Structure 1
Amino acid sequence: MDWLQVVVLSIVQGLTEFLPISSSAHLILVPALTDWGDQGLAFDVALHIGSLSAVVLYFRQELVRMAVSWGGSLAGRGVDPDARLAWWVVLATIPVCLVGLAFHDAIAEGMRSPLIIAFGLIAFGLLLAYADLRHRGSRDEYQLTLRDALLIGLAQALALIPGTSRSGITITAALLLGMSREGAARFSFLMSIPVIVLAGGMEVLGLIRDATQVDWFTLTVGALLSGISAYLCIHFFLAFIKRVGMQPFVIYRLLLGAWLLWLFW
């Protein structure tokens, strides 16, 4: 890869991982719309490490409290709000793991076309608009129930379809269940941690099997750029949706989906 490709892909990954506009769609589309070849598995791993570092750093205080309380709940010391939230994150991760293991190859090989991305962007963008305008409530992530966590987890499994957006579909489901914009986004970001860890772990196993030589300096730069852009994205996104809402992202999804239909139909 040349350095322009490294910079563009790293920033695109960092920004779109947590915005409700589909990171997988953008990482598929950027090479498709340029002369760039596939960035390779090692670089994908590095970008995921950058995004993971950003969300862990941003929510470090909450994660420490959740980990301590969750460990206490396992030791029989009761379940406080932080332990309950940790359990909900764990339970919400199960559906996407099961679906991913069962259909990973079929999704990776048969659903990466620009037309599928376009329909995903448009359909789930309209659903996000409906949820934000008609069903938004005031509950935060600490007021979720077991039913809420499982339903949001089931929605997260749909994100395996390119164009859906993991953050977009989980925020949509949370809004439909009466959560506030900030609460929905924060729970979505916390849910991303085990998902990124598991997805990155699968990519690492593939990298080990391939036994390919890697350029560590390029990977480090990619991880840093991805992490910095992801951290800034989380910070400004939470402030933005509190004041403005989800509709600008809906408009972007509809325009991008329409452009892809016009380009590839």
Structure 2
Amino acid sequence: MTLIEAIILGIIQGLTEFLPVSSSGHLELGAIVLGLETSNNLLFSIIVHAATALSTIVVFRKEILTLIKDLFAFKWNESTEYIAKIAVSMIPVFIVGVFFEDKVEALFSGQILLVSSMLFVTGLLLLISHYTKPKDGSVTFGKSIIIGLAQAIAIMPGISRSGSTITTALFLGVDRSKAARFSFLMVLPPILGAALLKTLELMDSGTTLGSNISTLALIAGFIAAFVAGLLACTWMIRLVRKGKLVYFAIYCFVIAFVGIVATFI
């Protein structure tokens, strides 16, 4: 992977992590289009996902600081309840990550037909959510586990994490702004946890990063994903509030169609 290719994929990740069009799917398609080997893509994916997690922290820094401050008050309050709901939402993705890691990694192997099909599913979710009547509900413990299930399913390349979790929250009657906020904050622990575990695994095994991905390329991809993520996160919050997700449904359908056609050509 060259420096330019790393930057391109980093920008793709930064934009698509927050925009409901599947970051993992676009990273996989981007790697295929650029003609890159996919054996080390999962590691690069984790690196740039960590970058977008950092951009989320920057965008929601005030909310996160409030949550942390209230948490260390050691009292059951609104913040600790919110953190507990995020913890509950992590259960499904934790189970998938622990018991099905090898099967998940096998999905990231140039399977353009699978990615395209899942992008079509993402498009359907966004389209249906466009016609869902806006409500002003909040995230409950019951809803958080269901939203967490959507996040676990979004491990599939082509299923948008933000798209699936936000649309699921909307289907459950959650207010648009609250749905976007919960969706972006709930992903922080799984992403940072996965990045940490992968790093510890590499350190323990002494495995190198791979001959086709240099340290400089990883750094460039990280920076590109972080900057793009800042812009996309801010934009996405506004789009959710305005109910403009249908445009991304159309985009997903187009990309899915092109990918499926390309598979059989």
**Which residue is equivalent to 2:221?**
222
Over aligned residue pairs, what C-alpha RMSD do you find? 2.0
Q: Is contact 1:67–1:86 with CA below 8 Å preserved after alignment?
A: no
Runs of 4+ that moved beyond 6 A: none
Q: Is contact 1:100–1:160 with CA below 8 Å preserved after alignment?
A: no
**Which residue is equivalent to 2:105?**
108
**1:63-113 CA distance string (max 9 Å, x none):** 1111222233xx3x2x22222111111110111111121112112214652
**Which residue is equivalent to 1:261?**
260
Amino acid at match of 1:27: L
Among candidates 63, 86, 91, match of residue 88 of structure 2: 91
Which stretch shows the higher mean deviation, 15-24 or 130-139? 130-139
**1:155-170 correspondence runs (5 A):** 155-170=150-165
- Taking structure 2 as the reference length, the TM-score comes to 0.89
Q: Is contact 1:181–1:245 with CA below 8 Å preserved after alignment?
A: no
Query: Would the alpha carbon gap of residues 216 and 261 (structure 1) be closer, same or farther in structure 2, given more than 3 Å must change?
Result: closer
Among candidates 147, 150, 158, match of residue 152 of structure 1: 147
- Taking structure 1 as the reference length, the TM-score comes to 0.89
Counterpart Cα distance in 1 of 2:240 and 2:114:
27
Query: Would the alpha carbon gap of residues 118 and 35 (structure 1) be closer, same or farther in structure 2, given more than 3 Å must change?
Result: closer
Query: Would the alpha carbon gap of residues 132 and 85 (structure 1) be closer, same or farther in structure 2, given more than 3 Å must change?
Result: farther
What runs of 5+ residues in structure 1 fail to find an aligned partner? none
Among candidates 203, 206, 212, match of residue 208 of structure 2: 212
What runs of 5+ residues in structure 2 fail to find an aligned partner? none
Does residue 192 (structure 1) correspond to residue 193 (structure 2)? The answer is no
Cα displacement (A) at 1:210: 4.6
Does residue 14 (structure 1) correspond to residue 14 (structure 2)? The answer is yes
**Which residue is equivalent to 2:53?**
52
Q: Is contact 1:129–1:247 with CA below 8 Å preserved after alignment?
A: yes
**Which residue is equivalent to 1:37?**
37
Which stretch shows the higher mean deviation, 15-24 or 195-204? 195-204
Q: Is contact 1:122–1:253 with CA below 8 Å preserved after alignment?
A: yes
Which stretch shows the higher mean deviation, 247-256 or 174-183? 174-183
Query: Would the alpha carbon gap of residues 194 and 238 (structure 1) be closer, same or farther in structure 2, given more than 3 Å must change?
Result: same
Counterpart Cα distance in 2 of 1:81 and 1:28:
39
**Which residue is equivalent to 2:77?**
80
**Which residue is equivalent to 1:125?**
123
Q: Is contact 1:132–1:175 with CA below 8 Å preserved after alignment?
A: no
